């Protein structure tokens, strides 16, 4: 029980980090490799529960603080266009979260972006939990298999904070910013990529000049 409790806390803290968090699959591989007793499936359920709680808290943080207080009204209205589209395609959205959860890719930015939409989190949280439980179970079993066939002195050398990892995190952070600046109404209605002007009021009123002659 102590191992499960420690695993839950560690995975929860990892998934609360908005950026540069170590991948949870590394923790699952380590547990499967180093903890001989215990069920890999039980480890996966605990880790998936902690990961889901952490990601939902992260999405709630993005919704209440960033969308509710820091985001400009124009940006909020722009994101609402994407929100309306997602509401019409709930099944596809839930399926996308499930499929994404099966992969080892980082999901922090996905939940931050979804939290900015202000949409309910319960359904996508359930899909994420099921997908992560399945993928974590695989990683735990792979770790258990490796511990039975490799030298016990072997240490896993993860790629955490490698140049590739940092570049990926920065790229995903830039992607979230781009999603906020994308003109969603134009994309959805006209199927065209367009960027919103950062300062719409910067346009010069030509008619104002004409009246000053």
- Distance (Å, whole) CA 10 – CA 8: 6
Contact 109, 175 (CB under 8 A): yes
Q: Which residues pair with 182 in a beta bridge?
A: 195
Contact 69, 101 (CB under 8 A): no
- Distance (Å, whole) CA 104 – CA 175: 18
Structure confidence at residue 55 (pLDDT): 95
Distances (CA, A) of 156 to 31, 38, 56, 146: 11, 20, 29, 11
Q: What's the pTM value of the predicted model, to 2 decimals?
A: 0.73
Structure confidence at residue 25 (pLDDT): 73
**Tokens matching residue 148:** 């039975």
Q: What is the 3-state secondary structure (H, E, C) of the chain?
A: CHHHHHHHHHHHHHHHCCCCCCCHHHHHHHHHHHCCCCCHHHHHHHHHHHHHHHHHHHHHHHHHHHHHHHCCHHHHHHHHHHHHHHHHCHHHHHHHHHHHHCCCCCCHHHHHHHHHHCCCCHHHHHHHHHHHHHHHHHHHHHHHHHHHHCCCCCCCCCCCCCHHHHHHHHHHHHHHHHHHHECHHHHHHHCCCCECCCCHHHCCCHHHHHHCC
Contact 19, 108 (CB under 8 A): yes
The sign of the torsion formed by the CA atoms of 121, 127, 129, 135 equals negative
- Provide the residue-wise pLDDT of the chain in tens; the chain has 213 residues: 687 888 899 899 999 988 787 778 777 777 766 676 778 888 889 999 999 999 999 999 989 888 877 778 888 888 888 888 888 898 999 999 999 999 888 888 899 989 988 899 999 999 999 999 999 888 877 766 665 555 444 444 445 556 766 777 777 778 777 877 788 888 888 777 777 765 344 344 444 444 444
**Tokens matching residue 208:** 């104002």
Residue with tokens 């499960």: 4
């Amino acid at each position: 029980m102590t191992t499960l409790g420690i695993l839950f806390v560690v995975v929860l803290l990892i998934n609360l980090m908005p950026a540069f968090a170590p991948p949870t699959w590394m923790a699952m591989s380590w547990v499967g490799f180093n903890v001989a007793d215990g069920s890999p499936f039980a480890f996966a359920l605990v880790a998936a529960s902690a990961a889901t709680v952490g990601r939902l808290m992260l999405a709630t943080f993005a919704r209440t603080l960033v969308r509710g207080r820091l985001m400009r009204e124009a940006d909020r209205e722009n994101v609402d266009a994407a929100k309306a589209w997602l509401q019409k395609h709930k099944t596809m959205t839930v399926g996308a979260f499930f499929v994404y959860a099966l992969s080892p890719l980082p999901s922090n930015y996905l939940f931050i972006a979804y939290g900015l939409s202000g949409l309910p989190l319960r359904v996508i949280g359930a899909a994420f939990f099921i997908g992560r439980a399945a993928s974590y179970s695989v990683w735990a079993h792979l770790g258990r298999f490796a511990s039975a066939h490799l030298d016990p002195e072997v240490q896993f050398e993860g790629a955490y904070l490698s140049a590739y990892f940092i570049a990926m995190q920065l790229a995903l952070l830039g992607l979230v910013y781009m999603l906020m600046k994308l003109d969603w109404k134009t994309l959805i209605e006209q199927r065209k990529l367009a960027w919103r002007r950062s300062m719409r009021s910067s346009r010069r009123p030509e008619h104002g000049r004409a009246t000053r002659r």
